[in-house]
Structure 1
Amino acid sequence: MKFAASKATVRKAAVAGLAAAALLGATGCSAINEQATSLHYAPSDGIVAEVGDAELRNIALVTSAPDTESRYIGTLSSASGEPLEVSITVDGTQTRFSVPGDESLILEDPANEQVIPSAGGSPGEIVDATVEVDGESETVGITILDGTLEEYREYVPGGADPSADDHLYETPAAEEGGH
């Protein structure tokens, strides 16, 4: 006895196979790639870290050039709600911060300004920093920024170089709304 599939049955099987392949192709990326919205990252130019009960948010160093004075920016907070003493050592210079327990220490505030002799690197680099809190120590990378971006110019020790953004220019297409 011979079984033969009808043309309609073959077509239905082919359509079902194509639909399954299309469905697998549309959803297959999430099977092998991490979902981007689940990644934890620093949403700005500085770093995010936790050392002991200290929370470091958007911590960076702002300078005008390598081997010149650098200023800390960012926010330090206490996760426990208790006052903390935090020290950050960069390029051999230790800086102590007294973090209040009930509020954040915002380093951009003039009252909290901390300047060190050198960041130990050039703008655009990340340097190793040792963060110590209550006997707990961790090495983190801290970003070095300069005054190229307007939002950091006021924090450059000694003032930002006005020619820092001379290499940036507008194209006619950008002015007209083109691509």
Structure 2
Amino acid sequence: MKARLAASAVLALGLAIGATGCSMVTYQATTEHYDASDGVSVDVGDLDLRNVLVVSDDGTDGNLVMTVVNTGDRDQTLKITPEGADVVELEVPAHETVVLGSEDAEPVLLEGIDAEVGGLTPIFFQYASEEGIEKRIPVLDSRLYEGLAP
């Protein structure tokens, strides 16, 4: 009787581990951060840049679309340097969010970027003495972003 009870307990435990144990050793894709939008994310010190993309119909001039969140205690001047184009400076107040390039926000024109529409263009982001980062930013046309191309 005891042997049957012990065998039943071992079998139940084996079934429970077999049915649920795979999550203990299997890679969990839901723990990975990803950008669920067309744009990309960039973190530069206290500045979090979200959904960064360029809207351009000709690949020469583009509208920079992004949201910048300053999580720090100081106002910052973000320098945006597209490859082959002039530097754009953006004031980002402390603990504030700045939205750029959308229908309701001020456009940020990047002139002379020479980018392929549908491709990626390198843009360098930096402020103050913080180490900057260059990121390849998607260049999309106005078919998806109607009215946002320059």
TM normalised by structure 2 equals 0.77
Change (3 A) 1:142 1:112: same
2:17 to 7, 23, 27: 23
1:139 partnered with 2:131: no
Contact 2:56 2:139 in 1 (8 A): yes
Task: Give % identity.
Answer: 22
Which structure's residues are more often strand, by fraction? Answer: 2
- Higher normalized contact order (CA 8 Å, seq sep 6+, divided by chain length): 2
| Corresponding pairs, count | 146
**1:118 aligns to 2:139 (yes or no):** no
Matching of residue 79 in structure 1 with residue 71 in structure 2 = yes
User: Does 1:44 find its partner at 2:37?
Assistant: yes
Supply the AA of the counterpart residue of 2:135: V
Q: Which runs of 5+ in 1 are unaligned?
A: 1-8, 158-179
Deviating runs (4+, > 3 A) in structure 1? Answer: 12-19
d(CA) in 1 for partners of 2:80, 2:17: 52
Cα pair distance change 1:46/1:81, threshold 3 Å: farther
Rounded to whole Å, the distance in 2 between the matches of 1:57 and 1:118 is 21
Instruction: Verify the 8 A CA contact 1:52 1:134 in the aligned structure 2.
Output: no
Give the partner amino acid of 1:87: K
Aligned AA (1:147):
S
Pair 1:53-2:55 in alignment: no
**Structure index of larger Rg:** 1
Give the match for residue 88 of structure 1.
80
Q: Is the 8 A contact 2:55 2:65 kept in 1?
A: yes
Bigger helix share: 1
Q: TM-score, normalised by structure 1?
A: 0.66
Q: Distance in 2 between matches of 1:121 and 1:34?
A: 35
For 2:71, give the aligned amino acid.
A
What is the CA distance between 1:23 and its match in structure 2? 3.4
The Cα RMSD (Å) is: 2.9
> What is the identity, as a one-letter code, of the residue corresponding to 1:60?
L
Q: Which runs of 5+ in 2 are unaligned?
A: none
CA distance in structure 1 between the partners assigned to 2:69 and 2:114 by the alignment: 22
* 1:130 alignment counterpart: 124
